[in-house]
Structure formats: C-alpha cells, structure tokens
Chains A and B, each alone.
Chain A
C-alpha cells in the first residue's frame, strides 16, 4: 500500500515535469501528449491516493467516463 502510493507520487512528479517540458514544443502533438499525461496524473491521484481502485466499479467507470468525455471535448474544441 505504502509502496504503491510512493511509486504513484514519483510517477506524478515525472509526468508533471514532462508535461512542462512538452509544452515548450510548438507541435500539434504536444497538446495531445499534454492532455494524455494529465489524464494519467488525474487517474493516478484518484485510483491510488484516493483509493478508488478499491471502490465499486460504478465509481471507477463514472470517473473514467467523465475524464474521457472532458478531454475529448477539450481536444475537439481546440
């Protein structure tokens, strides 16, 4: 449990720094990568820090549906 929290934290820090570096690249794929990495960070916090991985599948699916819908809307708008 403690180990998975620590691994998640390190992964979140790496993804945060990666996202900041990617944002300096002027490329249409940069936006896709930023959104994809942000999706991973969001799920990392929800599933490991908030222990959603232990919850009923309804809550997991609801969060993933919200997140998927949100990022698709943002990506299609830009």
Chain B
C-alpha cells in the first residue's frame, strides 16, 4: 500500500481529488435542480403532493438514512485506519461500509415493492414521477459505489499498488451518495 502525504490545503488537492469534487458538485447541482423543480410543481397541486407524500413510509426513509450515515461513518474510519497503515482494520470497516450500502438497497427494494403493489408507479402522478426518477437515480449511484468499494476491497492488501488517494476518491464517491440522499430524504419524504 502506497501512502503519501498530501497537502489538502492546496486548492488543487481536496481530499478525494479535484476531479472527484468536480463530479460531486455536478451531481449535487443536478439533483438540486430536480428537487427545486419538484418544489415548483408542488405549488401547482399542493394537495396532490401532500397526499402522495403521506403514502410514503417515513420510517423506511429514516432507517435508510441511518444505514447510509452509519455506512459513511465506517467509510471514514476505514480511510482513517488506512492512513495509519492498519490494513486489517481498514479492510474490516470497508466491509461494514458495504454492508450498510447493501442494507440500504434491501430496504429500498422492499419499499419499491410496496409501492408497485399499491399501484403507485412512475406514472401515478407528478409527485411519484419525481419520487421514482430521483430515488432510482440515487439507487444507481449506490450500486456503482458498491462496485467501486468491492474493487477497492480486493486491492486492499500490503502488496497492492493501490494508493491512499485512490481509496480517498472511492470514499468521496461513497460519501457523495450520502450527501445526495440527505438532499432527497427531507424534501421527498417530509416537507410536502
């Protein structure tokens, strides 16, 4: 494992790398615009949005938030131990990070299944069009994040040429999934 000291105070070297942060900002702006559009549409038919929001399971949303936050916590610990060259603990926390992501996907699948059974599909109304589009787009990010973490996990051994920067970039992508969910959850599940 290659460990190098990076000066994060340098404008061009934020933790995770400048390219990853450009991606993070693009993603946040994209989801942000979609959520603002959702809020604008809610003004046209506030009753539809309020009644549709009540059809969502807030408990599932809260538990999923806890899964992602805890997963992000394990990811941060994994990077912390990696910088201390403690590969065993770093690997353990990386596996726990992935477990959090898998639990999120399992609960999201159950939630989707309930919605489909109730006929609340993408064409049901404007609220559910936004709900499906935004949450599914986020789920795709979580799946991609899990694949990245799986690859990182395989490369996490003492003989690997994987650099700390590579793992920090993967961690930044995973945390980005948390950030996107933290934008989606209060607006879709709570405020309409």
Q: Which residues of A contact B (CB under 8 A)?
A: 1-2, 5-6, 8-9, 12-13, 16-17, 19-20, 23, 31, 34-35, 38, 41-42, 45-46, 48-52, 54-56, 58-59, 62, 66, 70, 73-74, 77-78
Contact = CB atoms under 8 A, between A and B. Distances in A.
A45 B174 CA distance: 11
Contact of B77 (A2, A12, A20, A77): A2
B40 interface: yes
Instruction: Bin the interface of chain B by size.
Output: 35 or more
Interface of B: 8-11, 14-16, 21, 25, 28-29, 32, 35-36, 39-40, 42-43, 58-59, 62, 65-66, 69-70, 72-73, 75-77, 80, 171-172, 175, 178-179, 182-183, 185-187, 189-191
B8 A51 contact: yes
B73 A5 contact: yes
Contacts, number: 114
Contacts of A19: 186, 190
A66 to B, nearest CB: 6
B14, B21, B75, B77: most-surrounded residue (chain A CB, <10 A): B14
A62 B25 contact: yes
